[in-house]
Amino acid sequence: MSSLKNRRYLDALLKQPIDRTPVWMMRQAGRYLPEYRELRAQAGDFMSLCKNPELACEVTLQPLRRYPLDAAILFSDILTIPDAMGLGLYFETGEGPKFERTVNNLSDVKSLKNLDPNQDLKYVMDAVSTIHKALDGDVPLIGFSGSPWTLATYMVEGGSTRQFAKIKKMAFQSPEILHALLNKLATSVIDYLNAQIDAGAQAVQIFDTWGGVLTPKDYREFSLDYMAKIVDGLHRTKNGEKVPVVLFTKGGGLWLEQIAATGCDGVGLDWSIDIGDARSRIGDKVALQGNMDPAILHGTPERIRSEVSSILESYGQGTGHVFNLGHGITPDVKPENAGAFIQAVTELSSVYHNK
């Protein structure tokens, strides 16, 4: 049996009885916390934090010291894989991630390094094992990766984009190139997440940040099919314990049934869908994670509490709900407002559970 002192998060994903709804926040370790900004300033830059296992551990633990969260999530970045493949990741102040080299043709795809995550991304695995040891069973640790489609958008575009012109041109002019890239990335993500599980991650999440920019047909072809391949390739148990996997497509509310059919344990929801509607569609098959609009955290404590109450009521009685934001907490949120959110979930959710 598990030595975890708090299993709410895992039990909710596995639809086991719980005493209250578990809660964590996407980007819960980040710039909204003054202690994070202080440590980042000491480290020099974002990637220096990510690549130092002790600092990554410290950042991961910071929000757990402030709030009664039910899970920790590895402090890292979704772009570690393309960086390790040799594209030269760097960050421009105010502009987000960029790559020195981009993927434009089949030759570029073939020249990408075949990853051994325990060698090429050893700093991530060292961070996972360091964090897992430091948590000492208090809460489970979530590992994660970007989806192949989302990683490919950055690798082809060279950074953030609003138009997705280059990646869509490749998809519609030269789909064989994009499929070669996505296949390579899917294999890398499988190996990467399995290595995280081996190092101590007790659940994993795939972030498909840009799946929602595709048509339904193209979403299936270029995003969902590759996430399904990853789900099939993951280690789903370790030491006799199930290792849940959550798929989160931002803007994916149209495709919940197809996402649930991949065999994942949980589906992440953004704020554009009512969680009660989502439960009526797929809640008998999978757990749901979400889905408060992060912007609500700019409201008053009363407004935040009201929104939490509304989402809990919409989901209704029983297990299978992991409370979260519909996307990452933003840097300009006041820490006390995040605290009001988490407090509201812990205080208001027990009436929805019989345990």
| 192 marked as part of a ligand binding site | no
> Would you say 21 and 34 are in contact if contact means Cβ atoms under 8 Å apart?
no
Q: Catalytic residue among 31, 66, 101, 220, which? A: 31
Per the annotation, does 327 bind a ligand?
yes
28 is in an annotated binding site: yes
Residue 62 in marked binding region: no
Q: Which residues neighbour 342 within 8 Å (Cβ) at sequence distance 6 or greater?
A: 23, 25, 67, 68, 69
| Residue 77 marked ligand-binding | yes
- Quote the tokens at residue 204: 């994993």
**Which of 77, 108, 198, 274 is an active site residue?**
77
Residue 137 in marked binding region: no
Active site residue 226: no
300 is in an annotated binding site: no
29 known member of a binding site: yes
At residue 95, φ and ψ (nearest 5 deg) are -120, -10
Q: Cα–Cα distance between 200 and 238 in angstroms, integer?
A: 9
**Catalytic residue check, 65:** no
For the chain, the first-to-last Cα distance in angstroms comes to 19
Of the candidates 40, 66, 220, 236, the residue annotated as catalytic is 40
Is residue 293 within 8 Å of residue 334, measured between CB atoms? no
The phi and psi torsions of 259 (rounded to 5 degrees) equal -65, -45
**Among 67, 154, 192, 315, the one annotated catalytic:** 154
Among the listed residues 7, 27, 279, 305, the single catalytic one is: 27
- Taking the C-alpha atoms of residue 327 and residue 303, their distance in angstroms, rounded to an integer, is 18
Q: Are 127 and 74 in contact (CB under 8 A)?
A: yes
274 is in an annotated binding site: no
- Reduced DSSP (H G I as helix, E B as strand, rest coil) percent helix, strand, coil of the chain, to 5: 50, 15, 35
For the question of residue 27 being annotated catalytic, the response is yes
Catalytic-residue membership of 77: yes
| Locus of tokens 């994009």 | 178
Q: Is the peptide bond before 337 cis (omega within 30 degrees of 0)?
A: no
| Residues contributing to the annotated binding site for substrate | 27-31, 77, 154, 209, 327
Active-site positions? 27, 31, 40, 77, 154
| Residues contributing to the annotated binding site | 27-31, 77, 154, 209, 327
